[in-house]
Amino acid sequence: MAQSNGKTVLVTGGAGYIGSHCVVTLQEAGYKVIALDNFANSVDDGCDGSIALKRVEKITGEPVTFYKCDLLDTVYLERIFQNHQIDSVIHFAAMKAVGESMQYPMLYYKNNIIGMINLLEIMKKYNIYNLVFSSSCTVYGEPEKLPITEEKRIGQSITNVYGRTKFFIEEILKDVTNSDDKWNIIALRYFNPVGAHGSGLIGEDPTKQFTNLMPFISQVAMGKKEKLTIFGNDYDTPDGTGIRDYIHVMDLASGHVAALHKLEKSHIQIKAYNLGTGRGVSVLELIKTFEQTNNVKVPFTFEARRHGDISTMYADPSLAERELGWKATRSIQEMCSDFWRWQTMNPVGYKTVLTNGHNH
């Protein structure tokens, strides 16, 4: 992997699931990392620090400078830019639960969109124009044809508020780059991140009601939940269950480093790339693979489809391979075994670490 010449990257949402894995990959590529997080989707250590990022330091042997900061707090945000010579920004910080976004649309619009605007204004003030934005395949809405390429028009038939915030932000970024060609931005449209770092030290620890499938599967496998509920077995798919493009979180993380290298080498103004494997896996196939790989049982029942869910979605990731030199390499078996290692080593996620009255 190309090295970074000691450049400094600000990672917003750095204590979260994808953020923390990305910090590992950035440090391994030689970047200095400053991270901020408001702990809306992540776990603090009881003294405004991040357990996940302390574990990242264990993995890489490198320090992570961390700030507990909300992007709506522009005064504190600006202080971070004053304190450090930042070269580029990777922006993960966002509310991300689809169901919750339908219940609290104002919270999602305020947090995701205003947070992005605040960040852009301060970046501009300090002459920092390189940005990697964490977008989502939800911007494509219900696909007419598969696999989904970046050419597909975005913003049509988006089924939830979370996806709309990602779409609106991509539109804002286009307008910003049109108005000032100093900007150099890559939007990465993720498909479905799963798995964990191979060490088992960091992984996905949802702080809200489970919305992602893999943590739910492993909770059932551990006997913490009685059974898994599969929403919908009447989709137009080979086994009737929804199909998604699951991507290992470490492959996703390396995609961000590839995007940064691209921004450092060339001025592209703004471009979007899909990060996925290009292969669809059904819910039943994922459960069976998890059972076989980890030698566990995952009982399940079927319920009616959820409002806003899409039947089949998978990426054409070839543009990222051609232009970023990036490709997902880890198998669905690895996603399952790495996640199970994390889960069995950390049966209650990061919360085990907390003692002296700070237990959540």
Rounded to the nearest integer, the mean pLDDT of the chain is 94
- pTM for this model (two decimals): 0.95
**Predicted local confidence at residue 2, as pLDDT:** 58
Active site residues: 162
pLDDT at 335 over 50: yes
**Predicted local confidence at residue 258, as pLDDT:** 98
pLDDT at 224 over 80: yes
**Predicted local confidence at residue 1, as pLDDT:** 54
Domains and CATH numbers, the chain: 8-353 (3.40.50.720)
The pLDDT tens digits for 118-151 are 999 999 999 999 999 999 999 999 888 999 999 9
Range among 5-9, 275-279, 347-351 rated most confident: 275-279
% of the chain surpassing 70 pLDDT? 96
Mean pLDDT computed over 91-103 = 92
**Predicted local confidence at residue 211, as pLDDT:** 67
**Predicted local confidence at residue 353, as pLDDT:** 55
The pLDDT tens digits for 161-216 are 999 999 999 999 999 999 999 999 999 999 999 999 999 999 999 887 766 899 99
**Predicted local confidence at residue 357, as pLDDT:** 45
Phi, psi at 199, each rounded to 5°:
-75, -20
pLDDT at 20 over 60: yes
pLDDT at 355 over 90: no
**Predicted local confidence at residue 359, as pLDDT:** 46
**Predicted local confidence at residue 98, as pLDDT:** 84
